[in-house]
Structure 1
Amino acid sequence: MRDMQDEAGAPLTAADASTSTPDTTLDTPRDRRGLFLLLATVAVVAYVGDQVTKVVALRQLTPGEPVDVVGEFIRLNLIRNAGAAFSIANSATWVLTLIAFGVLVFILRTARRIGSRGWAWALGMLLGGSLGNLTDRMLREPAPGRGHVVDFIDYFGLFIGNVADIAIVSAAVLIGLLALRGVGVDGKRPHHGRHEGSGAGTDGADHG
């Protein structure tokens, strides 16, 4: 009789054990929300910094009258740029606007798989910088979609950019470093031979 009770109670015991075992996947949505928040914060800071500095540049600088910051190497030199970053492709403003929208779609789609703080920083800077220059394209003269971007940071007399360009270039460098390290957008790395058999601690995830 006792054996029958033990057998009958086995499923209940297993069910209790399964319900009492902590589900580690419950942390994933919370962690991902934190990464989304980081991405959004970086994007907002980059965007606001870009727009505020452009307003200040328009008020304080006069086109054709550069102001030295670090000798003649770094200057504040106000221009209206019809092209891309660093005055490239001046005759393709509409195309550049469409490309900017495509970049935004790519960032938003990619952000759904975010699992790395490094990628959160990179996508945040890329999003903020892209939105900064796209705002100029859509709202500034001569017309929506063909607006000229405000540039004012003159590097060695070679090219002139803005804070949005700095964010975009920084994002590109960081993405390159993450790629060299093999860190995917989801925070995982491919397994290497030296990790095989090293235990459950090497799950291939990277959150740095």
Structure 2
Amino acid sequence: MSKGRGEPAAAPGLVLSYLREQNRPYSAQDVFGNLQRDHGLGKAAVVKALEQLAQQGRIREKVYGKQKIYFADQDEFDTVSDTDLKDLDDEILSLTAKVQSVQQSCRHMEAELKELTSSLTTPDICKEIEELKKECAKYTERLNKIKAATNHVTPEEKEKVYQEKQKYHREWRKRKRMATELFDAILEGYPKSKKQFFEEVGIETDEDYNIALPDP
């Protein structure tokens, strides 16, 4: 019967090719784990192949305590000069900077995509505008009916509404004063202008809509 690719006879060649290709130190367990999946080599075959290759001088073996490390014979590779190493280091730095730049761009694009995904689409906005127009027309019609009606509000009811209006005006001034004081305290240590702070935080003021506090 001919030998399959995962049988012991093929192990030395597969192990040698793998160590040369990777050119880094491995334990017998590492080599077995990396080759077993693709080539079906058993651990005993891998260990035997490593020991055989080391005895033949085709790979190098180092002992660290109870563990043995195997790696390709470095004499088989071209000598790398200091200049070549520096060029490789420069290339690594350049590629690292490029990777960081691309990662930053990806983060910005992901944030923009998230914002766009959470926003209403144009058809949804048009639909919402139409619904608001209908609602506004309904309230306008109701308001006109109220304005056209006469002698349906008693003096007591009118006084109650007036008192509530005064109460809400006072609350309006109070909350606006508190908010203004809070913003002023924050802006003392804020490096940008008040306008930039409001834009970044998303604060809308009465002045943005030409609204003024009623007289006391």
State the TM-score, normalizing by the size of structure 1. Answer: 0.28
Structure with larger Rg? 2
Q: Which has the higher contact order (CA 8 A, sep 6+)?
A: 1
Name the structure with the higher helix share: 2
